[in-house]
Structure 1
Amino acid sequence: MTLQDASVPGAAFGISDSVELGFAVEDVEAVRQRFKEQAIEVGDVQQMGWGEGFDAVDPDGHRLTFYRMRNEKGPQ
């Protein structure tokens, strides 16, 4: 889990006066789909060098990030 100032640039939903909570999950797309089914605002899944993730805004306006780190060890 991560916690950071939500005013950092580059966030999908713009600057906020709050904090952003980040949660490591096993299946980013499954979490995103569950949020969409509950009409929670979600961004697109972004592929990055460290892994993948998406941003969301909960019904109270809190910014959330869900991510999965890329396995650096590779297949065994």
Structure 2
Amino acid sequence: MLESLVEWYDGVELWLVQLVYPLQVALVLAVLVPLCWGVARVVDRAVDGIGAKFTRANDAEPPVGGSDGEKTGRRGRTA
């Protein structure tokens, strides 16, 4: 199983290296930008959730972009 994965990766790497440079950059950006954006979003949500869980203020506002924060205003009124 591991040998076939290594062979596949070598094939993809060889294919990518043989492309012209602008196409290499475009492909790497097309993969890395969404991947990094998704990881940053998950980390941001996790930090907001942990911060909200351990805050001492009882009336603290929910994190920006939370499930309730997108639909309502600051004090629960509709926007």
Which structure's residues are more often strand, by fraction?
A: 1
Which structure's residues are more often helix, by fraction?
A: 2
Give the TM-score category using the shorter length. Answer: under 0.3
Bigger relative contact order (CA 8 A; separation at least 6)? 1
- TM-score (structure 2 length as normaliser): 0.16
Flag the structure with larger Rg: 2
